A = this chain, B = another copy of it.
């Protein structure tokens, strides 16, 4: 049996694209004792993948040149010498940009819970939902009447974080690019208002829509949007640094916010987190998220591309702002 992979060929300087990857075909090796052969069905695309291909120290080692590109995946077990996994099981892990992969001893694999689709496992019930839930609730405590501002609000994580803040009683303002995304935020996701950064000055929008200033800022973007938010902090505000997508494809480090001293004047806190620290709290998360999502109190949009050829282009969609909601790519449907 043959396997196709997208391997990292060169490290991008600037925007990442297909030219940084090489398509490689190889034979799938035989299974050793304890091994599990998985066929990838869905791939997850996340802004943090851009950082994984930089040759710099981070929260995970860089993807090596010649290594298959790392990605979150849901797949189906096609062959198993491991008693924890049987053929047909849906499993999730970091299967990467390839059709098949082998997990020695089942390491890094976990079963997709009964009744959860592959798309949900990678999105609302996966790292996306976990990131939104623990980022918002562990690093802040949004209360009724608080104003919560979300950047990258029409992205997978931002849209969920905003809806959780609404469920906690806060007034929620989103920042997103373009009228379609902003309309989705207010009409479907229940945000109180949205700032279209492509058609409005973000500082003006914040001033207009946050007259009592910002109690919580959940930031996926960084750069000028972070600086604008720091100019409108309420007392004892919480700035949650989830990501900084505006800088991920820059060849030079972007200038930092000039107004960090606003954290002093307003006695505010800016804090970063990484979702992998919360993997042992998935149960706690699902206890709240499953009923919220199943009852329709939280909506989650998926943007599903298709086909092995389209993998590198699909990553690029995140950085050009093309995706509305969680970016996925389907390689195959599960077989029953």
What residues make up the interface of A, taking CB atoms closer than 8 Å to B?
57-59, 222, 226-227, 241-244, 247, 253-274, 277
Partner of A271, one of B243, B268, B274: B268
Q: Which residues of B contact A243 (CB under 8 A)?
A: 264
- A271–B242 Cα distance when bound, in Å, is 16
Query: Which of A268, A270, A277 has most B Cβ within 10 Å?
Result: A270
Copies in the complex: 2
A193 to chain B, nearest CB (A): 24
Closest to A277 in B: B267
Q: Which residues of B contact A265 (CB under 8 A)?
A: 57-59, 272, 274
Closest to A248 in B: B261
Contact present for A256 and B255 (CB under 8 Å): yes
- A253–B242 Cα distance when bound, in Å, is 26
- A266–B271 Cα distance when bound, in Å, is 10
List, sorted by A's number, 6 A–B pairs whose CB atoms are closer than 8 Å. Answer: A241-B264, A244-B261, A257-B260, A264-B274, A265-B272, A270-B270
Given contacts A58-B265, A244-B264, A253-B258, list 19 more A-B pairs with CB under 8 A: A222-B260, A227-B256, A241-B260, A241-B261, A241-B263, A253-B259, A256-B257, A256-B260, A261-B272, A262-B272, A263-B270, A263-B271, A264-B273, A265-B274, A266-B272, A267-B272, A267-B277, A269-B272, A270-B270
Q: Which residues of B contact A274 (CB under 8 A)?
A: 264-265, 267
Contact present for A255 and B254 (CB under 8 Å): no
Closest to A253 in B: B258
Could you tell me the dominant secondary structure of chain A's interface residues?
Answer: loop
A59 to chain B, nearest CB (A): 5
Q: Which residues of B contact A59 (CB under 8 A)?
A: 265
A62 to chain B, nearest CB (A): 13
Contact present for A270 and B267 (CB under 8 Å): no
- A322–B270 Cα distance when bound, in Å, is 33
Contact present for B258 and A256 (CB under 8 Å): yes
A105 to chain B, nearest CB (A): 28
- A272–B266 Cα distance when bound, in Å, is 7
Contact present for A269 and B269 (CB under 8 Å): yes
Contact present for A261 and B273 (CB under 8 Å): no
Closest to A244 in B: B261
Q: Which residues of B contact A226 (CB under 8 A)?
A: 260
A139 to chain B, nearest CB (A): 9
- A303–B226 Cα distance when bound, in Å, is 40
- A98–B259 Cα distance when bound, in Å, is 33
Contact present for A260 and B277 (CB under 8 Å): no
Contact present for A264 and B272 (CB under 8 Å): yes
A254 to chain B, nearest CB (A): 6
Query: Which of A227, A242, A259, A264 has most B Cβ within 10 Å?
Result: A264
Q: Which residues of B contact A268 (CB under 8 A)?
A: 271-272
Q: Which residues of B contact A258 (CB under 8 A)?
A: 253-256
- A267–B240 Cα distance when bound, in Å, is 11
Contact present for A263 and B272 (CB under 8 Å): yes
Contacts A222-B260, A259-B253 given; indicate if A269 touches B267 (C-beta within 8 A).
no
Contact present for A273 and B267 (CB under 8 Å): yes
